[in-house]
Amino acid sequence: MEEWAQVKRHIADEITLLCDQHHREKTNGLLPKETVRAADAAPYNLREGTSKPYALHFSGTEATVEIGSNSFTCQDQGHGTVMIPLMVDNTALIGIILSDGHFLLNVVIFDEFNAPVLHIRNNQLVYSITPWDIQLVGTTLTLREGARKILIEFVFSPPNKVKITRGRFLRNGVEILVRPDNILITNNSAVISGCRAHNCYGGLIIGHTKMEISGFMAIQGVPRYLGDRTEALKFERQCLESR
């Protein structure tokens, strides 16, 4: 990294892009050039294989998660209130914790090989750096897979609301597609829309669980790595057209 005032040139290898915080620190003389050079030589993302955690700012005694026109809400009942809007085979893909005025969001996104590619753990956003395209613009977080295809799209509405407008949740051969107006489980062509769950421990529960979990819908016996995706999408269109 070279100072423009000294070298009077722009060369890509001599330019370092800093985040807003570190740019202010560098400008104000709080971040030494040597520290920036060291970070350039061994970037955090490449060392760790994941991004540096990014904090999401949620709080309050009530939380709302909307998934494809389905709404999941809960109020803090004390002693750490937990709600799981979406679970597959005892794995919470989306979870909420309310405790002492804190709203903690937990989300994990898997690829087709059950490898996690994005993880929000108690409001800390961490994601794999390759080969995914992750974009956070304003309050919208978008994760794309190959060919710019959207894997998941969140709209964050602090302090206490999260909306999933589009998405593809994968786990153990189960595929769940999220649209603005519905959820589609392609394995069995189940279309789910307009459902509400309030103060339930579970929401949409698919597959086996270690203990019985109350929710607005529990689906067992979902075929894995099977099913006709084309027919499922066709059935979804028919459902929407019949409204």
Rounded distance between C-alpha atoms, residue 114 and residue 225, angstroms: 12
Give percent of the chain with pLDDT exceeding 90: 30
Average pLDDT over every residue of 8-21 = 59
- With 0-12 / 13-18 / 19 or more C-beta atoms within 10 angstroms meaning exposed / middle / buried, residue 218 is middle
Nearest alpha-carbon partner for 76 in 95, 103, 57, 94 = 103
Residue 129, CB-side half-sphere exposure with 13 Å CA sphere: 11
Q: Is the pLDDT of residue 51 over 90?
A: no
pLDDT at 59: 76
Please state, rounded to an integer, the average pLDDT across all residues of the chain: 80
pTM summary value: 0.73
Distances from the Cα of 197 to the Cα of 65, 102, 216, angstroms: 10, 20, 6
Angle between helices 33-41 and 20-27 (to 10 degrees): 140
pLDDT band at 49 (very low <50, low <70, confident <90, very high): very low
pLDDT at 111: 86
DSSP bridge partners of 97: 82, 104
Whether 37 and 14 have beta carbons less than 8 Å apart is answered as no
Q: Which two tokens stand for residue 134?
A: 């992750």
